[in-house]
Amino acid sequence: MSKVVLLVGSPRGDKSTSMCLGSYLMSRLQEKGWQPTTHMVGRTVDSVADFEGMFSDLEGAQLVVLATPLYMDSLPSPVVQFMELFGMRQVVVAGPRPRMCLIINCSFPEDQNQVAVQIVRHFAADTGMEWAGTLTMGQGGAIWGEALEDLRRRTRRIRSSLDQAASALVEGKAIPGDVERTFSKRMVPSFLYRHMVNKGWEATGKRNKVRNLKSRPFLRDIPPKAKGP
Protein backbone atom coordinates (compact mmCIF):
# COMPACT_ATOMS: atom_id res chain seq x y z
CA MET A 1 0.00 0.00 0.00
CA SER A 2 1.34 3.44 -0.94
CA LYS A 3 1.97 5.79 1.97
CA VAL A 4 1.47 9.55 2.09
CA VAL A 5 2.53 11.89 4.91
CA LEU A 6 0.77 15.19 5.57
CA LEU A 7 2.90 17.82 7.32
CA VAL A 8 0.78 20.63 8.78
CA GLY A 9 2.90 23.73 9.21
CA SER A 10 0.37 26.00 10.91
CA PRO A 11 0.77 26.72 14.64
CA ARG A 12 -3.05 26.56 14.85
CA GLY A 13 -2.87 22.82 14.20
CA ASP A 14 -6.24 21.07 13.90
CA LYS A 15 -8.10 24.39 13.71
CA SER A 16 -6.10 25.80 10.82
CA THR A 17 -6.93 26.39 7.18
CA SER A 18 -3.81 24.35 6.33
CA MET A 19 -5.22 21.36 8.19
CA CYS A 20 -8.59 21.69 6.45
CA LEU A 21 -7.00 21.75 3.00
CA GLY A 22 -4.51 18.99 3.76
CA SER A 23 -6.95 16.65 5.48
CA TYR A 24 -9.39 16.94 2.57
CA LEU A 25 -6.66 15.81 0.16
CA MET A 26 -5.70 12.99 2.54
CA SER A 27 -9.29 11.74 2.60
CA ARG A 28 -9.38 11.65 -1.21
CA LEU A 29 -6.08 9.76 -1.35
CA GLN A 30 -7.29 7.31 1.29
CA GLU A 31 -10.38 6.60 -0.79
CA LYS A 32 -8.01 5.65 -3.60
CA GLY A 33 -6.20 3.11 -1.42
CA TRP A 34 -3.36 5.17 0.02
CA GLN A 35 -2.39 5.06 3.69
CA PRO A 36 -2.20 8.59 5.19
CA THR A 37 -0.24 9.79 8.23
CA THR A 38 -0.41 13.32 9.65
CA HIS A 39 2.21 15.22 11.64
CA MET A 40 1.81 18.69 13.18
CA VAL A 41 5.22 20.22 12.53
CA GLY A 42 4.70 22.99 15.10
CA ARG A 43 4.24 20.46 17.87
CA THR A 44 6.96 18.09 16.73
CA VAL A 45 9.84 20.56 17.03
CA ASP A 46 9.63 20.40 20.83
CA SER A 47 10.47 16.69 20.98
CA VAL A 48 13.45 14.78 19.55
CA ALA A 49 11.46 11.54 19.76
CA ASP A 50 8.58 13.04 17.77
CA PHE A 51 11.02 14.31 15.18
CA GLU A 52 12.47 10.82 14.81
CA GLY A 53 8.98 9.39 14.32
CA MET A 54 8.17 11.97 11.68
CA PHE A 55 11.46 11.38 9.85
CA SER A 56 10.84 7.62 9.90
CA ASP A 57 7.40 8.10 8.34
CA LEU A 58 8.79 10.43 5.68
CA GLU A 59 11.52 8.00 4.68
CA GLY A 60 8.97 5.22 4.26
CA ALA A 61 6.48 7.28 2.24
CA GLN A 62 5.91 7.61 -1.47
CA LEU A 63 4.49 11.14 -1.18
CA VAL A 64 4.90 14.07 1.23
CA VAL A 65 2.32 16.86 1.33
CA LEU A 66 3.29 20.07 3.14
CA ALA A 67 0.24 22.19 4.01
CA THR A 68 1.25 25.51 5.50
CA PRO A 69 0.32 29.18 5.78
CA LEU A 70 2.41 32.09 4.59
CA TYR A 71 4.17 34.10 7.31
CA MET A 72 5.86 37.35 6.20
CA ASP A 73 6.56 36.10 2.65
CA SER A 74 8.09 32.92 4.08
CA LEU A 75 7.19 29.89 6.19
CA PRO A 76 6.42 29.46 9.91
CA SER A 77 9.61 28.99 11.91
CA PRO A 78 8.84 25.33 12.86
CA VAL A 79 8.62 24.49 9.14
CA VAL A 80 11.99 26.17 8.52
CA GLN A 81 13.49 24.24 11.43
CA PHE A 82 12.06 20.99 10.08
CA MET A 83 13.56 21.63 6.64
CA GLU A 84 16.98 22.38 8.13
CA LEU A 85 17.02 19.21 10.26
CA PHE A 86 15.59 16.98 7.56
CA GLY A 87 18.10 18.35 5.07
CA MET A 88 21.00 17.48 7.38
CA ARG A 89 19.58 14.00 7.95
CA GLN A 90 19.28 13.27 4.23
CA VAL A 91 22.99 13.86 3.77
CA VAL A 92 23.74 10.69 5.76
CA VAL A 93 20.61 8.56 5.14
CA ALA A 94 20.58 6.47 1.97
CA GLY A 95 17.51 5.18 0.18
CA PRO A 96 14.78 6.32 -2.21
CA ARG A 97 13.19 9.73 -1.70
CA PRO A 98 9.45 10.45 -1.72
CA ARG A 99 7.78 12.89 -4.07
CA MET A 100 6.65 16.19 -2.55
CA CYS A 101 3.86 18.65 -3.18
CA LEU A 102 2.83 21.87 -1.44
CA ILE A 103 -0.49 23.36 -0.35
CA ILE A 104 0.00 26.94 0.82
CA ASN A 105 -2.45 29.67 1.75
CA CYS A 106 -2.17 33.28 2.87
CA SER A 107 -4.65 35.67 4.46
CA PHE A 108 -4.18 38.40 1.87
CA PRO A 109 -7.03 39.02 -0.56
CA GLU A 110 -4.69 37.96 -3.38
CA ASP A 111 -2.31 35.04 -3.75
CA GLN A 112 1.10 36.28 -2.55
CA ASN A 113 2.80 32.95 -1.89
CA GLN A 114 5.34 32.71 -4.70
CA VAL A 115 8.49 33.43 -2.65
CA ALA A 116 7.55 30.72 -0.16
CA VAL A 117 6.78 28.31 -3.00
CA GLN A 118 10.30 28.77 -4.36
CA ILE A 119 11.76 28.14 -0.89
CA VAL A 120 9.97 24.78 -0.65
CA ARG A 121 10.88 23.83 -4.21
CA HIS A 122 14.56 24.46 -3.43
CA PHE A 123 14.21 22.33 -0.28
CA ALA A 124 12.70 19.46 -2.27
CA ALA A 125 15.49 19.64 -4.88
CA ASP A 126 18.23 19.81 -2.24
CA THR A 127 16.89 16.71 -0.47
CA GLY A 128 16.37 14.69 -3.65
CA MET A 129 12.57 14.74 -3.65
CA GLU A 130 10.74 14.87 -6.96
CA TRP A 131 8.47 17.92 -7.18
CA ALA A 132 4.79 16.96 -7.58
CA GLY A 133 3.20 20.40 -7.85
CA THR A 134 1.76 23.27 -5.88
CA LEU A 135 -1.70 24.38 -4.80
CA THR A 136 -1.49 28.00 -3.72
CA MET A 137 -4.24 30.41 -2.70
CA GLY A 138 -5.06 33.71 -1.02
CA GLN A 139 -8.10 34.44 1.18
CA GLY A 140 -7.25 31.65 3.60
CA GLY A 141 -9.16 33.54 6.27
CA ALA A 142 -12.40 32.73 4.43
CA ILE A 143 -11.94 29.09 5.52
CA TRP A 144 -10.45 29.69 8.99
CA GLY A 145 -10.46 26.10 10.19
CA GLU A 146 -13.90 25.06 8.94
CA ALA A 147 -14.38 21.81 7.03
CA LEU A 148 -14.42 22.49 3.30
CA GLU A 149 -17.66 20.57 2.84
CA ASP A 150 -19.39 22.78 5.42
CA LEU A 151 -18.58 25.92 3.40
CA ARG A 152 -20.43 24.49 0.40
CA ARG A 153 -20.43 26.85 -2.60
CA ARG A 154 -17.55 28.95 -1.27
CA THR A 155 -15.13 26.02 -1.51
CA ARG A 156 -16.68 24.10 -4.40
CA ARG A 157 -13.87 25.03 -6.80
CA ILE A 158 -11.23 24.28 -4.13
CA ARG A 159 -12.68 20.83 -3.46
CA SER A 160 -12.84 20.07 -7.16
CA SER A 161 -9.18 21.07 -7.53
CA LEU A 162 -8.15 18.84 -4.62
CA ASP A 163 -10.13 15.94 -6.10
CA GLN A 164 -8.30 16.34 -9.42
CA ALA A 165 -4.95 16.72 -7.66
CA ALA A 166 -5.53 13.45 -5.80
CA SER A 167 -6.29 11.63 -9.07
CA ALA A 168 -3.06 12.90 -10.63
CA LEU A 169 -0.91 12.12 -7.58
CA VAL A 170 -2.03 8.48 -7.26
CA GLU A 171 -1.08 7.99 -10.91
CA GLY A 172 2.43 9.24 -10.20
CA LYS A 173 1.87 12.51 -12.02
CA ALA A 174 2.39 16.10 -10.87
CA ILE A 175 -0.61 18.29 -10.12
CA PRO A 176 -1.70 19.66 -13.53
CA GLY A 177 -1.20 23.35 -14.26
CA ASP A 178 -4.88 23.98 -14.93
CA VAL A 179 -5.74 22.51 -11.52
CA GLU A 180 -3.18 24.81 -9.88
CA ARG A 181 -4.68 27.83 -11.65
CA THR A 182 -8.24 26.91 -10.68
CA PHE A 183 -7.25 26.41 -7.04
CA SER A 184 -5.66 29.88 -6.96
CA LYS A 185 -8.81 31.72 -8.02
CA ARG A 186 -10.45 33.92 -5.40
CA MET A 187 -13.27 32.43 -3.38
CA VAL A 188 -15.05 35.79 -2.99
CA PRO A 189 -14.48 39.30 -4.41
CA SER A 190 -11.61 41.12 -2.72
CA PHE A 191 -13.81 43.90 -1.29
CA LEU A 192 -16.09 41.32 0.32
CA TYR A 193 -13.14 39.40 1.74
CA ARG A 194 -11.71 42.59 3.31
CA HIS A 195 -15.11 43.28 4.87
CA MET A 196 -15.25 39.73 6.30
CA VAL A 197 -11.72 39.97 7.71
CA ASN A 198 -12.37 43.38 9.30
CA LYS A 199 -15.51 42.06 10.98
CA GLY A 200 -13.49 39.13 12.25
CA TRP A 201 -10.90 41.45 13.81
CA GLU A 202 -13.69 43.47 15.44
CA ALA A 203 -15.23 40.32 16.92
CA THR A 204 -11.84 39.19 18.22
CA GLY A 205 -11.31 42.62 19.76
CA LYS A 206 -14.63 42.44 21.59
CA ARG A 207 -13.83 39.00 22.96
CA ASN A 208 -10.56 40.40 24.31
CA LYS A 209 -12.20 43.61 25.60
CA VAL A 210 -10.44 45.86 23.07
CA ARG A 211 -12.75 48.79 22.40
CA ASN A 212 -10.80 50.63 19.74
CA LEU A 213 -8.75 48.61 17.24
CA LYS A 214 -7.26 51.80 15.81
CA SER A 215 -5.89 52.91 19.15
CA ARG A 216 -2.13 53.49 19.33
CA PRO A 217 -1.57 53.75 23.10
CA PHE A 218 2.21 53.56 22.98
CA LEU A 219 2.60 56.30 20.42
CA ARG A 220 2.34 59.07 23.04
CA ASP A 221 5.18 57.46 25.00
CA ILE A 222 7.66 58.00 22.17
CA PRO A 223 9.72 61.16 22.86
CA PRO A 224 9.66 63.77 20.11
CA LYS A 225 12.62 63.89 17.76
CA ALA A 226 15.26 66.44 18.67
CA LYS A 227 15.41 69.38 16.33
CA GLY A 228 18.58 69.78 14.35
CA PRO A 229 20.89 72.81 14.59
Higher pLDDT, 37 or 72: 37
DSSP state, 134?
A: E
Provide the pLDDT for residue 132: 96
- CA nearest to 158, candidates 14, 9, 20: 20
Query: If you average pLDDT over residues 168-178, what whole number do you get?
Result: 95
* DSSP code string of 52-94: HHHHHHHHT-SEEEEEEE-BTTB--HHHHHHHHHHHHHHHH--
Q: Which residues pair with 39 in a beta bridge?
A: 7
Higher pLDDT, 205 or 74: 74
Distance from C-alpha of 48 to C-alpha of 35, rounded to nearest angstrom = 24
Report the relative pairing of strands 99-105 and 130-137 from DSSP bridges. parallel
**Confidence class for position 183, pLDDT limits 50, 70, 90:** very high
Whether residue 66 contacts residue 26, with contact meaning beta carbons closer than 8 Å, is answered with no
Q: Structure pTM? A: 0.85
Domains parsed from the chain with CATH numbers:
3-221 (3.40.50.360)
Residue 8: pLDDT above 80?
yes
Whether residue 55 contacts residue 89, with contact meaning beta carbons closer than 8 Å, is answered with yes
Whether residue 149 contacts residue 142, with contact meaning beta carbons closer than 8 Å, is answered with no
The CB density around residue 200, as the number of other CB atoms within 10 Å, is 13
Provide the pLDDT for residue 194: 78
Residue 27: pLDDT above 70?
yes
Mutual orientation of helices 156-170 and 177-184 as an angle, nearest 10°?
160
Tens digit of each residue's pLDDT (9 = 90 or more) over 39-94: 998 776 666 667 778 888 888 899 999 999 998 888 998 899 888 888 877 655 66
